[in-house]
């Protein structure tokens, strides 16, 4: 039966999870692009490997939307997949309860998430924005002196992010990012540390050849295993799912029985690796992924299979830079970056009487992500800051044993399966390049 989309009444919208997925899909398309030259505006620093944290970028845009109005607010709503600030608050609460909450005390991954609104001492956060930021995003407000001491202000912002990420990200802004016209910087950071359900034995790690896209090779350490793994064979690629240790389900409220767990299932974190069959098949695989935001979700393996030759490289990735052009070209966010068009009047106000005619716009959105995969699990960190100035493939038959040899470029997603939140996405073109 064919479903017809309703057109009367309220517009039918995608869920918040779907639009977080759409944002991740936007970043996935960037994985096919050639490396950006260092210093080139609109892209990350020059590195063959890339990693992004879509949930960190989403949170920053959501925080920005709490202070936007008019057409600027509508653009952000369209990107974030919501109809109102109440919807954003619901997303923030669900994210806090699901993908972004620390589970280390109950045996799951350690997750730290922090938001911050740093405003110039000559400006004051408007009460509605300050309250919404604190209530929905636990965003701390802090006054700094951009006008007179920009370097000190940048140091304070970077220090807060370093503290939130256990010093894995020591900075996201440099002194040139702000000037005497800067009035507000919004920043978000996430730190994830998870242990595999089935760790790899360090004694089994071997050094072997990794084949780059240009045909050259690099000697890198590969983690090996003879255990059964979650692997699916698709048309032209394979998918590996490596689960992290998950927390035990919480008992249902009001129940004394440990067997009575809540209706809400416990979070399940996994790293999913998409490996093309051909050594030079990554561009084609990313093009397939670009066919729709849900590509990754419907291709995840559900069953463990015995493995033959299994090798996965250890890797550590780091990428930083502007994502402004990605948001403009990929997500349709435009007015917020244009002086005179951006409407962010619900965020801050000048303390003196010269506030009339003072308009804010977003100068840039900076993003930094770091991710390391080793025998024990994953450490991943992402941070995003924006600052403002005045002015389907068929499943193939599974063989008895499946080889999974990631000795050539691949892409990966770090996800929370229940909410379908994509916390990190990236590509590995050369694991011998650390950072």
pLDDT single digits (tens) 192-201: 888 999 999 9
User: What is the CATH classification number for the domain harbouring 301?
Assistant: 2.30.39.10
Residue at 257 is within a domain: no
- For residues 7 and 79, what is the distance between their CA atoms, to the nearest angstrom? 20
The structural domain count of the chain equals: 2
Q: Which stretches within 70-219 are classed as H helix?
A: 70-80, 85-97, 127-137, 150-164
Residue at 414 is within a domain: yes
What is the reported pLDDT for 44? 40
- For residues 266 and 95, what is the distance between their CA atoms, to the nearest angstrom? 13
Residues spanned by the domain of 52: 16-33+41-195+317-390
Nearest CA to 384 among 327, 317, 315? 327
Spans in the chain with pLDDT lower than 70 = 1-19, 32-47, 93, 95-98, 248-264, 292-294, 352-358, 391-399, 435
Task: Give yes or no: residues 381 and 283 share one domain.
Answer: no
3-state DSSP assignment of residue 19 = helix
pLDDT single digits (tens) 389-398: 776 444 455 5
Task: Give yes or no: residues 45 and 177 share one domain.
Answer: yes
Task: Give yes or no: residues 160 and 245 share one domain.
Answer: no
Neighbouring residues of 369: CB distance < 8 A, sequence distance ≥ 6: 51, 52, 53, 56, 317, 318, 319, 320, 380, 381, 382, 383, 424, 426
Contact of 299 with 393, CB cutoff 8 Å: yes
What is the reported pLDDT for 5? 37
């Amino acid at each position: 039966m064919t479903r017809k989309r309703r057109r009367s009444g309220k517009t039918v919208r995608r869920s918040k999870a779907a639009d977080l997925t759409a944002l991740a899909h936007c970043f996935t398309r960037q994985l096919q692009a050639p490396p950006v030259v260092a210093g080139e505006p609109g892209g990350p620093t020059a590195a063959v490997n890339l990693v992004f944290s879509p949930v960190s970028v989403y949170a920053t845009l959501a925080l920005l939307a709490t202070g936007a109005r008019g057409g600027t607010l509508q653009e952000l709503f369209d990107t974030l997949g919501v109809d109102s600030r109440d919807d954003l608050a619901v997303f923030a609460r669900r994210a806090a309860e699901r993908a972004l909450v620390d589970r280390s005390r109950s045996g799951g991954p350690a997750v730290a998430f922090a938001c911050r609104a740093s405003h110039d001492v000559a400006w004051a956060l408007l009460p509605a924005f300050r309250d919404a930021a604190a209530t929905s995003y636990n965003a701390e407000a802090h006054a700094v002196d951009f006008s007179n001491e920009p370097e000190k202000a940048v140091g304070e912002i970077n220090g807060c992010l370093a503290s939130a990420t256990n010093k894995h990200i020591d900075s996201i802004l440099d002194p040139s990012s702000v000037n005497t016209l800067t009035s507000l910087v919004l920043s978000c950071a996430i730190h994830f540390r998870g242990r595999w359900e089935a760790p790899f034995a360090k004694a089994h790690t071997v050094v072997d050849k990794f084949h780059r896209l240009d045909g050259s090779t690099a000697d890198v350490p590969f983690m090996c295993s003879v255990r059964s793994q979650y692997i699916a064979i698709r048309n032209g690629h394979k998918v590996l799912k490596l689960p992290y240790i998950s927390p035990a389900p919480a008992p249902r409220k009001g129940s004394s029985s440990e067997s009575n767990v809540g209706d809400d299932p416990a979070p399940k974190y996994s790293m999913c690796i998409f490996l093309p069959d051909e050594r030079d098949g990554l561009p084609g695989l990313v093009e397939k992924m670009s066919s729709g935001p849900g590509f990754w979700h419907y291709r995840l393996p559900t069953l463990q299979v015995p493995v033959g030759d299994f090798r996965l490289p250890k890797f550590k990735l780091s990428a930083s830079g502007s994502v402004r052009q990605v948001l403009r070209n990929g997500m349709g966010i435009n007015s917020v970056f244009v002086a005179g068009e951006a409407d962010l009047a619900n965020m801050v106000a000048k303390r003196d009487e010269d506030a009339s005619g003072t308009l804010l716009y977003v100068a840039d959105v900076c993003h930094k992500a770091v991710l390391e995969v080793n025998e024990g699990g994953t450490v991943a960190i992402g941070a995003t800051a924006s600052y403002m100035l005045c002015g389907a493939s068929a499943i193939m038959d599974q063989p008895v044993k499946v080889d999974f040899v990631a000795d050539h470029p691949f892409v990966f997603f770090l996800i929370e399966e229940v909410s379908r939140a994509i916390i990190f996405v990236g590509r590995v073109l050369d694991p011998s390049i650390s950072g």
